[in-house]
Structure 1
Amino acid sequence: MRSNPTVWLVHQEATTPETGNGGRVYYYARELARRGCSVYLVAASWHHLMSAPPDLPNEGVVHKKEIESNLRVAWIRMRSYGNAHSRLRILSWFLFGWRLRRNAAAISETPDVIIASSPPLIGVGTAQALARRFGAKSILDIRDIWPVTLEKIGSISHHNPLVMMMRHLERKAYDNADHITSNLEHARRHLEAFGVDSDRFTWLPNGVPVEDVAGGENASNEPVRDVGPSAFVVGYAGTIGLSNALEYLLDAASLLEVESSVQFILYGDGKDRQRLERIVEERGITNVRFKGVIEKRHVMEALQGCDALYLGWADSSLYDFGIGASKISEYLLSGRPILHSFSGRGDPIARCAAGVTVPAGDPAAIAEGVRRLQAMDPAHRREMGARGRQYALQKLDYRVLGAELFNVIERFRARDE
């Protein structure tokens, strides 16, 4: 009988629940471990997504810590670099790859499978080189399509030297992968341009760790009722950045200001928060409140304290490949109806009839979507929310998705026998 494999999941910017939010790579690692795989999550000991970096001894480069049975983290010692937009972050990509390559033997168990998560792309190249060294299978997990995202959302030139380097690394990553997974449902359309056959691709969406998340289907609205007992509350929880299309939400809020029963609550932080707060102050928008960052364990409570939730995107062809934000599964699990400002392909909200979808980048349409939700019979809104919650429980629980990844590994291991 074939024994379960040793799997390395390499993602420089991974976190555990103790050091950050956990996230996709951690929860897939946990589910593989629970299916008997010997799993190592290989990550940097410091990066901008960490809220509590691990306390490591002063000596050595690789430090292993057992999280639970069959699951260990191998921290690669790294220096701090400021924030996500620091030039030192780019340097850290090269340093992480170099240190991993030189110190891979310290992880101890030889891998049968190495899963490399992108971005960053430089660590992917190192992980694939190690797979060749150890005779392991190589899986590329695409969380975001770089450098396309940097060009279309970040407005970085196609001829930027860093973008050109990434384009080269991207092609090599596709060529060297035995299999490719992605949280983007239609990523295969992008991969086809690089000659990747469809049977080398599996869609694995971002999920939600249902067992770890508090909050039931009928949780009350009490947490945010400081806005007034009769207010219709539209909430947002997540990163406050360029890709989240929150400026359009502020424009919509301004259009709805005379309808005083509508209030907008924004939880989170990010590069754009101060700029958006200045817009609210300068324009005198009175129905928007920024609540700041909330602990992961309180996110579901905050979402369920709203009457509806906002999820928005720029009007960009990038989203023809699909969307994969982790907040999608959390929103659906909350049981609240969702106002989705989206014009791409693979709309998960429309798929399970869990809300109202309006065109991306259109404040008037967003405002009209809010009016539609507010005017609905509350029972109809509850039905929308319940459909989304049921979809999350059946399709997006990491216990379900982890089984799918395990099956992917088992299928191509079986072909080698």
Structure 2
Amino acid sequence: MLSYFFNVMQGETTDTLPRPDVVVGSSFHPLAALAGYFLAKRRKAAFVFEVRDLWPETIIAMGKISRNGPVAVVMRQWEKYLYKRAQRIITLLPSAHEYIGSLGIDSSKVRWLPNGAVITNFNHSADKVRGGPFTFMYFGSHGVANGLAPVIRAFAKVRKEYPALACRLRMVGSGPEKTALRELAESLSTGEDISFEPPVPKSAIPALAAEADAFVVNLRDLELYRYGISLNKMFEYMAAARPILFAGNPKNNMVKDALCGITVAPDDVDAISKGMVAMVQADPYILRTWGSNGRQYVIEHFDYQKLGHDFSRILDEAIANKADA
């Protein structure tokens, strides 16, 4: 990342390119966004700051740094520097303008542009590709932030208390917690009812999703989520026309808004296990309705074709704002 930043700063790799009208700097890494701003300044272009994560709030919420520590202080100065200089600020979180405004930034230049899904990639059939027991599925990262241990414990509770209930849990993906999660499942004697599977390519996700009866997500109960969420996997789950068991309490709850599943308290093993039982025992018509509702909600609000038009409009706004300055 340092090499990338200094290459942009030196200009040897960018000054020979046609002058851009606008440059987008993304906060997937702090230096990437900063490089985007300096490039925009050097080429006299509009600058759009894309905020994928609220730095340093995200790593403070995860307990990685202290709120008043030197790293947080430096990062907060960095974000304010870019917020002030951007013609437009794009955020994935619907209420991030509240946080940005609290820093003394004009929140009128903040635009919400969430993640989404390519709806045409997903088979809209409500029927599971494979037969067998009711299949709960999670695909995505297996990290601390993903809150998967309560899901494992909840499923083990279901298998213990409802041994006749035919269901299984498929955990697909990779991450630093995967070994610990597998060991947890073994310690709870879940046997083959929980499977841990390797990640699949992005192109294989629609076919994988079609093998599920329902998806399960546990969102840790963090103060950070008062600004909302924009989980890539949630849009893909909904696009696949499958119901979702969602354990979470964020500012925006798409499962509740779309009427596409069951919402329970986050990190609550008892509540998640009861939600699983309710999902397995639900009338098939209700499950299909939930799945259809979720897919339709993505079509109307979060299909990438629509989001692409929104992105284009925001770039035009930034260019016009730069010209008027």
> What's the TM-score, normalizing by structure 1?
0.73
Does 2:185 match 1:280? yes
2:129 aligned to 221, 231, 234, which one? 221
Deviation, structure 1 residue 307? 1.1
Give ranges in structure 1 of 5+ residues lacking alignment: 1-91
Give 1:151's aligned residue. Answer: 60
Question: Structure 1 residue 346: deviation in Å?
Answer: 0.8
Q: Which amino acid aligns with 2:194?
A: V
Which is helix-richer, 1 or 2?
2
The answer for the alignment partner of 2:134 in structure 1 is 232
Does residue 374 in structure 1 map to residue 280 in structure 2? yes
Correspondence for 2:80 among 167, 171, 178: 171
- Show CA shifts across 1:49-84 (max 9, x none): xxxxxxxxxxxxxxxxxxxxxxxxxxxxxxxxxxxx
Q: CA deviation at 1:217?
A: 2.8
**Native 8 Å contact 1:122 1:169 kept in 2:** no
Q: Decide whether aligned partners of structure 1 residues 184 and 386 sit closer, same or farther in structure 2, where only a CA change above 3 A counts.
A: same
2:101 equivalent to 1:192: yes
The answer as to 2:248 corresponding to 1:346 is: no
Residue 244 of structure 1: aligned partner: 146
Q: Spell out, residue by residue over 1:354-396, the C-alpha distance to the aligned partner (whole angstroms, 9 max, x if none).
A: 1111111111111111112112110011001101001112211
Determine the structure 2 residue equivalent to 1:388.
294
Which of residues 316, 323, 332 in structure 1 aligns to 2:222? 316
> 2:264: which partner in 1?
358
**Distance between the aligned counterparts of 2:315 and 2:21, measured in 1?**
10
- How much does 1:155 deviate? 3.4
Structural RMSD (CA):
1.7
- What residue in structure 2 maps to residue 137 of structure 1? 46
State how far apart, in whole Å, the 1-side matches of 2:58 and 2:71 are. 13
State whether residues 217 and 247 of structure 2, in contact with CA within 8 Å, keep that contact through their aligned partners in structure 1.
yes
The residue number in structure 1 matching 2:206 is 300
Is 1:111 paired with 2:20? yes
Which stretch of structure 1 is more off in the superposition, 345-354 or 162-171?
162-171
Which amino acid in the other structure matches residue 138 of structure 2? Y
Q: Give the Cα–Cα distance (whole angstroms) in 2 for the partners of residues 186 and 396 of structure 1.
A: 17
Q: Does 1:399 align with 2:301?
A: no
In structure 2, which of residues 155, 163, 167 is the aligned counterpart of residue 262 of structure 1? 167
Say whether 1:183 aligns with 2:89. Answer: no
Q: CA deviation at 1:216?
A: 2.7
Partner of residue 71, structure 2: 162
Deviations, residues 91-135 of structure 1 (Å, cap 9, x unaligned): x3x332112221343561211101111131122112111211111
Q: Which amino acid aligns with 2:155?
A: A
Q: CA deviation at 1:177?
A: 1.0
Q: Is contact 2:5–2:35 with CA below 8 Å preserved after alignment? A: yes
State the partner residue of 2:6. 98
Query: Quick one: distance in 2 between partners of 1:278 and 1:164?
Result: 38
What residue number does 2:231 align with?
325
Q: Distance in 1 between matches of 2:14 and 2:259?
A: 49
Q: For the Cα contact (< 8 Å) 2:94–2:112, is it kept in 1?
A: yes
Q: CA deviation at 1:409?
A: 1.9
Specify the code of the residue in structure 2 equivalent to 1:266.
Answer: M
How big is the shift at 1:340?
0.7
Report the residue type matching 2:260 in the other structure. A
SS in 2 for 1:290: strand
Q: Number of residues paired by the alignment?
A: 318
Deviates more, 1:286-295 or 1:161-170: 161-170
Counterpart position of 1:127: 36
Quote the Cα distance in structure 2 between the aligned partners of 1:219 and 1:100.
50
> Does the CA-based 8 Å contact 1:322-1:346 persist in structure 2?
yes
Gaps of 5+ in 2: none
Q: CA deviation at 1:403?
A: 0.3
Distance 1:124 1:297 in 2: 28
Q: Distance in 1 between matches of 2:220 and 2:66?
A: 18
Equivalent pair of 1:119/1:146 in contact (CA under 8 Å): no
CA distance in 2, matches of 1:107, 1:331: 43
Partners in 2 of 1:156 and 1:113 — Cα distance?
A: 34
Aligned structure 1 segments of 4 or more residues deviating by more than 4 angstroms = none
Letter in 2 for 1:283: L
Amino acid in structure 1 at the alignment position of 2:109: R
Task: Tell me, yes or no, if the aligned pair for 1:214 and 1:297 is still in contact at 8 Å.
Answer: no
